[in-house]
Amino acid sequence: MSGSNFVERYAAWADSFMDAPRQFHRFIAYWTLSTLLGRRVYMCLGDAWLFPNLWLIVVAPSSFFRKSTALNLGRDMVEGVKENMISSDGWSYECLVSILSQQPHTAMVYTEVSGLMDQLQKDYNSGAKALLTDLYDCPAKYSRKKGVDVIKEFRIERPYLTVLGASTIDWLIDSVKGRDISGGFLARFLFVSADKKDKIVAIQPKADQREKENLKNMLTNHIQVEGEMSYTPEARKHYERWYMDFVKEAESAPDTIRAFFPRLTSYAHKFAMLEAILNGHFPNVTEGDCRNACLIAYEFAAEIRQLGAESLGKTWFETQKIRILKAIKKHEGIDHSRLLKNSNLDAKKFSGIIETLKQSAER
């Protein structure tokens, strides 16, 4: 383990006493480094600076997958290196603006990302989603005027925002509106999903506190870097080849999820920067760093395609059809009344969906 980088060691450490899927730990480790780095490192692309901020959601069927526990472990790791990095998860639009104005380098953590989405839908938070969407790109400054009779101007200097959340696949399918995808908000997130656990641990063993301190020290050392990062000639050639192939693949993606793919090309740059720092190559991004980052982008593309297959962005009716069909397959022989009760639908809507499923089966 001593020869591994921070991400590998963090995942191994967390996996030694938790039964959350290991890929959750892996990408939460990337998120911790991303959060602590802030605007210290960047890559120049055209006339813009790209920063390595990550917006990440872990997705699993139930709480037995330890989603919240895995998130809290990552949050504690960040707070153990730098205090007061995590913003409150309960806010109004005015409060959010105030927080970001005073602390533009911040992280948001939601053990249930439905809480974030619910907040963004409230009338008094009108404009919050647009604010967060704009801040994803880490502009040099962000200013807006708000109000009618009394005009208030707010300014956020050098913002850097990371987001970490958790969701069940059912909530994601049922609650996320198509406009959140096409409008770009949801397309800024990376999804790490799991439908199976590698192991089951009834009673967690004690965590290795010495290794925890080692990990904090590794993070502290990693975030000492500062300045512009750039590809080596070999790395640049690799990215260009990968990009051409990736664009062709993205063209075949369903319309409902196509908005995710352009963001993944930017995320490949972000992971390339993180890989270079983890592997001690700063300020250079080597071909190996770039290769690893492109493979990660492909992983997330596969995740998005899977979510698309699970009906992300489909209509309400299509979503309910999939839910009921899953329940029928999962509980073979379930009777009509129990299926109706479990669906939480009224009898008329339920009957319409059942009739459609019957017609589909007869074709």
What is d(CA 275, CA 273) in angstroms, rounded to the nearest whole number? Answer: 5
CA dihedral 73, 78, 82, 84 (to 10 degrees): -80
Residue 337's pLDDT is 83
CB atoms under 10 Å from CB of 87, counted, come to 17
Contact 78, 107 (CB under 8 A): yes
Q: What is the pLDDT of residue 181?
A: 60
Binned at pLDDT 50, 70 and 90, residue 92 comes out as confident
**Torsion, CA 112, CA 259, CA 130, CA 51, rounded to 10:** 80
> How far is 299 from 190, CA to CA, in rounded Å?
10
Q: What is the pLDDT of residue 146?
A: 67
pLDDT digits (tens, 9 = 90+) for 141-191: 988 776 666 677 788 999 999 999 999 877 776 655 455 665 678 889 999
- For the chain, the domains span 6-226, 316-362
Fold of 6-226: Rossmann fold (3.40.50)
Residue 346: HSE in the Cβ half-sphere, 13 Å Cα cutoff: 2
The yes-or-no verdict on residue 265 having pLDDT over 70 is yes
Cα(267)–Cα(256) distance, rounded to whole angstroms? 20
Residues 6+ apart with CB under 8 A from 356: 321
Task: Return d(Cα 53, Cα 279) in angstroms, integer.
Answer: 18
List pLDDT tens digits, range 10-22. Answer: 999 999 999 999 9
